[in-house]
Amino acid sequence: MSIPVVEGFVPFSWPAAGKPCQTYYKLYGDLKSGPTPLIFIHGGYGYTHKYGLPHTDLAAGPRAIPVLFYDQIGCGQSTHLPEKVGDWEFWLIQHFIDELENLISCLGIQTYDVLGHSWGAVLGAELAIRRPRGLRRLVLASGLASMDLWSLAARNLLKTIPDDLQKVINDCEKAGKINAPEYEAAMTVFAKQFVCRPETWPPEVSSAFEENEKDMTMTKTLGGGMSDFHVTGSMKDWSVIPDIHKINVPVLMTNGRYDGAQDYVVGKKEKAI
């Protein structure tokens, strides 16, 4: 039996955008089938839902659950706002939470689980500390407790690749030459160690990177346009640690051995070793 698939757009009121906005979504399964749906929040900043599509397997079989994907405004098939690049006051976390809650409301979802990956885990945690009605369970995959810890882990992992490549990355970042071919080559080596390890990346992952390169507005604004080694954008001081006690739903945290989200980043250990 094939999985029913519905896709579409819901309007989102964001007056500061200066134009109508809409959120693209894609639903696998039937929201009226009974099981609690899972909402996938993609990472980035500025990637799309596509790399999370292997989770559609959850919508098949005798224990199938509906799985809802969406592209955050600013990327993918949702409204793009390149004119807002660098505007820290516009790209606020609260707006992303409002967008998700608007999507949930428009689709008539009453109870739901959330799986947030990387930047999506940031949004998942931020959603949970607000204790929204309907949130039942939360999965934080390769998430982070604070941006300081995330950057610390990235710098620690950088020290594990060959010295000559470390030098290329550090020298290019200091000189602002992050578009140089040698920088991109060195970063590819790093990414194949600590982002996605297969020699040939799955098409879903490659697609996410390609989509991000088409519009770097969110990456440049929230991250600062540099690598995770030195976050200079609006997220540079972010931390959920002071508010984490507000989360009142079951939480599963996952990360990998070769993962930018090391144990101390997701909060499984108190400090780096």
pLDDT for residue 9 is more than 70: yes
Q: How many domains does the chain have?
A: 1
Task: With respect to residue 271, please indicate whether it lies within any of the assigned structural domains.
Answer: no
Asked if the structure places residue 273 within a domain, the reply is no
> For position 273, what pLDDT does the model report?
41
Q: Is residue 192 part of a domain?
A: yes
31: three-class secondary structure by DSSP: coil
Per the domain annotation, does 88 fall within a domain?
yes
Q: What share of the chain is helix, strand, coil (3-state, %, to 5)?
A: 40, 15, 45
Is 246 part of any domain?
A: yes
Q: What is the mean pLDDT of the chain?
A: 94
Domain assignment present for 144: yes
Average pLDDT over residues 113-117: 98
Q: Tell me if 272 is assigned to some domain.
A: no
- CATH number, position 188: 3.40.50.1820
Question: Does 241 map to a domain?
Answer: yes
Hey, what amino acid is at 183? Y
Edge-to-edge strand ranges of the sheet holding 135-141: 5-12, 21-28, 67-71, 38-41, 112-117, 135-141, 251-254
Give the pLDDT band (50/70/90) at residue 29: very high
Report which of residues 208 and 73 the model is more confident about.
73
Mean pLDDT of the 171-184 span: 92
End-to-end distance of the chain based on CA atoms, in angstroms? 49
* pLDDT (mean) for 172-190: 93
Structural domain harbouring 91: 5-266
Q: In whole angstroms, how large is the CA radius of gyration of the chain?
A: 19
**In this predicted structure, what is the pLDDT of residue 209?**
87
Residue 19 CB neighbours (<10 A): 9
> Mean of the pLDDT values across residues 221-240?
92
